[in-house]
Structure formats: structure tokens, C-alpha cells
Amino acid sequence: MMAVVAPTTAVCAVIIPVVAAVALGDRPGSVTIGGIALAIVAIALVSQSTHPDPTGDDADQKTGARRSAFSLALLSGVVIGFFYLALARTSSQAGLWPLVAARSVSVALFAAIALLTSQSLRVPSGIRTTVVAGGALDMIANLLYLVATRSGPLSIVVTLASLYPASTVLLARVVLHERLSRLQWLGVICAMVAVIMIVR
């Protein structure tokens, strides 16, 4: 469930680079530290699901699935956190080669997994436009993150980058007409305040 996966992944992705940045000498001010803490709260709030908890015979099965989802989300967040940190540690002289290397490794990894599991690498024609658009947006986001880490403190950049659940929830409201809960609206407000505090 999104209530488990999104906040766990996003918070882990924030914590690892921020701790590393502080250990490497980054010293954000007290207002910025408060903004980072508020951003973590915002990530958790905005990712809350409005679906009711299961009851009856499915409850045990759902509990096991949630534990598995939490473990995968935790692992995903740790990996993303180290990816953010690795990109931030590259020098400006490296240009865009870190992104080329990252994309090459991911393509090779997915190809190997597809071959080992006998999955087709062909993209169905009905979703090719969506896949290409998603890939382009992903690369643009990584490029902007790389540029930002080379011109600003890592603790601030990675926290702002990890506020994506707020934009996802707002887009779901506008595009898909999904209703937001009070906690999600509170999370969106916290995210906006956190951004102001961080960039101040």
C-alpha cells in the first residue's frame, strides 16, 4: 500500500544523503534543519492511504504482504539514498557521464533479469508513448538533481527532491480527480512550508 511504501522509501532516500552530508561537513542552519524535519513529516502525511484496513480471513495474508512491502520499500529507499549520494559525490568535470553510467547499468540489469525470467523486452505498442515520456522525465529529473547537487548543499537538495509525494498527490487530485484526506492536505501544506524554510 502507498501508505507503507511511499513514506518509507522517501524518508530512507532523504536520511542517508543528509547524514552523509553532515558527516562530510555540511552544516545547515537551524531553520533549514527544521525544514528538513518538517519535510520528512510531510512525506509521511501526504502518502497516507484512504483505503480501509482489511478484516476477516484476508487480514493475516494482508499483514504478511504489508511486511514484505515494508521490507522492499526499506531496501528501495536505502538503495535510492545511496544513488543520490553517489551522484552528488561526482565532480563537475565528470559532466553527464555519471548519468550515462547509471542508465547503462540499469538497462543491462533489466535485460539480464528479463533473460533469466524469460520475459520479453518488447514494449507493447499501446504504452510506448507513455514509456518514452516516463523515461524522458526520469532522465530530466536525474539531470536536474545532478546539476543541483553541484551548486548547492546536498542535505537541502536531496530533501527538496524527496518531496515528490506531494506533487504526486496533487496531480492525482487534478488529473485523476482523486479526493485528498485531511492528513494528505496537511502533508501538502507541511511540504510547502518546508520548501520555504529550506530554501530560505
Q: In terms of domains, do 65 and 112 share one? A: no
Q: In terms of domains, do 98 and 60 share one? A: no
Q: In terms of domains, do 100 and 84 share one? A: no
Count CA within 13 A, CB hemisphere, residue 104.
6
pLDDT tens by residue, 54-88: 555 566 666 666 677 778 878 888 898 899 889 88
Q: What residue numbers bound the domain in which 132 lies? A: 93-149
| Tally of structural domains, the chain | 2
Q: Cα–chain-centroid distance for residue 111?
A: 23
Q: In terms of domains, do 158 and 65 share one? A: yes
Q: In terms of domains, do 82 and 163 share one? A: yes
Domain boundary among the residues 129, 149, 169 is at 149
Q: In terms of domains, do 179 and 127 share one? A: no
| Positive or negative torsion for Cα 30, 86, 143, 170 | negative
Report the predicted TM-score, pTM, of the whole model to 2 decimal places: 0.71
The cell for 60 is: 493475516
Yes or no: say if 169 and 46 are a contact pair by the CB < 8 Å rule.
yes
pLDDT tens by residue, 117-161: 988 888 888 899 999 999 999 899 999 999 998 888 887 888 888
Q: In terms of domains, do 87 and 166 share one? A: yes
Q: In terms of domains, do 102 and 85 share one? A: no
Query: Distance of CA 46 to CAs 18, 56, 196, Å?
Result: 21, 28, 17
| Positive or negative torsion for Cα 82, 85, 89, 92 | positive
